[in-house]
Structure 1
Amino acid sequence: MLAHERRGSGPVLVLIHGLGSRRQVWEPIVGALARHREVIALDLPGFGESPAWEPPRPGLAPGSVDHLADLVADFLAGLGVESPELAGNSLGGGIALELGRRGLARSVTAFAPVGFWGPAGRRWCQAVLGGSRALSTALSPALPRIVATRPGRAALCSIFYGRPGRVSAVDCLDSARALSAAPGFAAARRAFGVWRLPVGADPAGLSAIPVTIAWGTRDLVLPHRRQARRALEELPDARHVLLPGCGHLPFADDPERCADLLTVRQ
């Protein structure tokens, strides 16, 4: 069973975080979402408070989008949740799209999803995330002092947030420690290049449901210009949105806009 929280009532909305993150990354918008949805925010296997993942089926790389999508699908089936609305960020965005491609979602909203990069973009993302994890680990003893000041939080969090000053000291510290400690990080990072959204391969999946792809204009992890163009080419019928001033984790940068994308249908 994956660690998770459930709040609110209404249609089920499942929130899936990204590489090295945890379910609390959605906290800035969960309250607003729970007024309209039954929200399930989960920790992926090997991240947050969830246990390490089970081995993948033959042919899948451990920690890949396909592997984690299998585990999320099993988790939701165990809860008796069928065809929920899905939202994902980064790696979680790829997982949400894969589950939608399989016909297991009512709708999909992906914030800065993986899988629309070229080789250089993938390597950049792997390098940025790997460097951030190494830095958080190296600075571990000093992190409480660093995040206690606004300039310190801005320096530590600006790679992920367009407006890092809005992130609290507690959230900044807990997120840095979660990034350092996640046992699933290395394998999932290595498996990034395995998954790409199959073009034209989902006649019963993404083409049949509402899909939204959103990119922060200040995203330094997955810079939006080329990847947003690829997403538009591969999913021309989706709603494609830019989030001005937002970074890779836009939920603290512009919580109202992010919540609206998940509760107001196109």
Structure 2
Amino acid sequence: MPQPLSHLVHDRAGSGEPVVLIHGIGHRREAWAPVFDRLAERFDVIALDLAGFGDSAPYPRGTTYDMENACRDLVANFERWGVERPHVVGNSLGGALALELGARGLVSSVTALSPAGFFGPINRFQALAPLAIMRAFSQAPDVVLRALSERAFGRLLIGGLLYGNPGRMNAEATYGDALALKRARGFEAAARAGITYSFDSPVEVPTTIAWGTKDRLLPYAQASIARLRLPNAHHVPLVGAGHVPMIDAPERIIALIAETVAEASSAASHVA
């Protein structure tokens, strides 16, 4: 068994087909809280913290935050958990990772929510600049972040770029997200890798790409690039949802994951 670069902290619940949930840059496994318990009613669900984010240790010194290392690390952790070719669901950076795993034939299906890697010539920097501002803002003292999280306008400041409706976030979740971004030791390395990253590989496993029409970090226009590059995937607009659509449209996300898993399971049964 290959050794992981980082032992990824994760939450696991339920039984059935394995479904792995992968968050975006600067976020944490709790991003999936709005859908985790419901998914666990049907699947063996694993929500993980990527290396250098949430509670997971960063990569060893000198290890590059690139897609090859990230995929190798994820698969090594899958093996540690006794999971083979799971269904993967990813948001933003996590969506790009899910697609990379799918392109390598390492997973059974892919559900990608506003995935990175479909930038136009300008909006790559339109995404990275707000992320850098959010990262800088998160360095405020914890007491300030706590106070802002307890007020509606503060939740808008902290989560306004991430959600179509930041008002759905409560104080504890907002504060936790702010601390996760503040303490993300892998942020700068992952962001640097994203400057030149582009996804343009065929994915043969069943794939769904869903995009929030109110995404302010990776605008919905990028969905048209994804359609051109992955014409065989299912492309779904999430009307009114933002960049992290689990908070805006949890029922729709649950349904899309279930449909993609069912498609993969049906295809596998026909092959068998």
Aligned-pair CA distance for 1:53: 1.2
SS at 2:139 equivalent: helix
Q: In structure 2, what is the Cα distance between the partners aligned to 1:69 and 1:119?
A: 26
Q: In structure 2, what is the Cα distance between the partners aligned to 1:138 and 1:242?
A: 35
Q: May I ask how many residue pairs the two structures share in their alignment? A: 255
Aligned-pair CA distance for 1:66: 2.8
Residues 115-130 of structure 1: pairs in structure 2 closer than 5 A: 115-130=117-132
Residues 1-266 of structure 1: pairs in structure 2 closer than 5 A: 1-54=7-60, 62-138=64-140, 140-199=142-201, 202=202, 206-207=203-204, 209-225=205-221, 227-265=222-260
Q: Which residue of 1 aligns with 2:269?
A: none
Which one-letter code corresponds to 2:235 in the other structure?
A: H
Q: Deviations over 1:52-72 (max 9, x none)?
A: 113677xxxx22233212211
Aligned-pair CA distance for 1:77: 1.8
- 1:66–1:195 CA contact under 8 A, matched in 2: no
| Unmatched segments (≥5 aa) in structure 2 | 1-6, 264-272
Q: Deviations over 1:202-227 (max 9, x none)?
A: 4xxx22x11000110111000011x1
Aligned-pair CA distance for 1:195: 3.1
Question: Residues 29, 172 of structure 1: CA spacing in aligned structure 2 closer, same or farther, 3 A cutoff?
Answer: same
Aligned-pair CA distance for 1:138: 2.9
Q: In structure 1, what is the Cα distance between the partners aligned to 2:93 and 2:231?
A: 21
SS at 2:88 equivalent: strand
Q: Deviations over 1:127-159 (max 9, x none)?
A: 111110101113643111111122221232111
Which one-letter code corresponds to 2:15 in the other structure?
A: S
Q: In structure 2, what is the Cα distance between the partners aligned to 1:210 and 1:103?
A: 11
- 1:85–1:108 CA contact under 8 A, matched in 2: yes
SS at 1:183 equivalent: coil
Which one-letter code corresponds to 1:89 in the other structure?
A: N
- 1:150–1:165 CA contact under 8 A, matched in 2: yes
Q: In structure 1, what is the Cα distance between the partners aligned to 2:146 and 2:27?
A: 19
Kindly, what percent of the aligned residue pairs are identical?
43
Q: Deviations over 1:202-259 (max 9, x none)?
A: 4xxx22x11000110111000011x111100010010001111111111111111111
Q: In structure 2, what is the Cα distance between the partners aligned to 1:214 and 1:178?
A: 25
Q: In structure 2, what is the Cα distance between the partners aligned to 1:213 and 1:23?
A: 20
- 1:46–1:185 CA contact under 8 A, matched in 2: yes
Q: CA RMSD in A?
A: 1.5
TM-score, with length taken from structure 1: 0.92
Q: Deviations over 1:13-63 (max 9, x none)?
A: 000001000000000001111111100110000000001113677xxxx22
- 1:65–1:195 CA contact under 8 A, matched in 2: no
Aligned-pair CA distance for 1:124: 1.4
| Unmatched segments (≥5 aa) in structure 1 | none
Q: Which residue of 1 aligns with 2:4?
A: none
